[in-house]
Amino acid sequence: MANFKLTISDIKGKSLSKELKDSDANPLLGLQLGNETDASIVGLTGKLKLTGGSDKSGVPMRNDVHGAARKKVLLSRGVGLQDAESGQRKRKLMRGNSISEEIYQVNCKFDGELPVEAPVEEATEEKTEDKKE
């Protein structure tokens, strides 16, 4: 009964968001950051590389923290640490690198180009203008 919000980015910098629920989300459970999976779970052909994510309360995943649990980690730079001066270290709460049911958002990188979808707003505006005439 896992629900994930997948943010998929392509090589051109374009991104889209898909929501996976229940049985569609099961192939992602247990994967670690850096692993690749088939993109057919979101209706694309190719591979998805898992790059990051966060849990339901916004705690980011970090590649060098093993497991799926939350841990307080001493950081000097990298993911989860915004403004550290030279030589400064901070202890921050991080989520491990394995995807579990507590994860809410998963960031992925797609190995090709994402298909272009027509904006919904423009299509509805054209229909309303046609009806007025």
User: What pTM does this model have?
Assistant: 0.77
Which percentage of the chain shows pLDDT scores above 90? 40
Nearest one of 55, 23, 51 to 37, comparing CA atoms: 51
Once rounded to an integer, what is the mean pLDDT over residues 92-98?
93
Is pLDDT of 133 > 60? Answer: no
- Give one word for 22, left, alpha or beta, with left for phi > 0 and alpha for psi -120 to 50: left
Which percentage of the chain shows pLDDT scores above 70? 87
Mean pLDDT of the chain: 85
Is pLDDT of 120 > 60? Answer: no
Distance CA 4, CA 46 (A): 20
43: containing domain: 3-132
Look at residue 121 in the predicted model and tell me its pLDDT. Answer: 59
- pLDDT classification of 85: cutoffs 50, 70, 90: confident
The answer to whether residues 60 and 80 touch, using CB atoms and an 8 Å cutoff, is yes
Is pLDDT of 118 > 60? Answer: no
**Structural domains in the chain (count):** 1
Structure tokens at 15: 């991104």
The alpha helices in 40-119, defined as continuous H runs, are none
Once rounded to an integer, what is the mean pLDDT over residues 85-113?
90
Q: How far is CA 38 from the centre of its chain?
A: 15
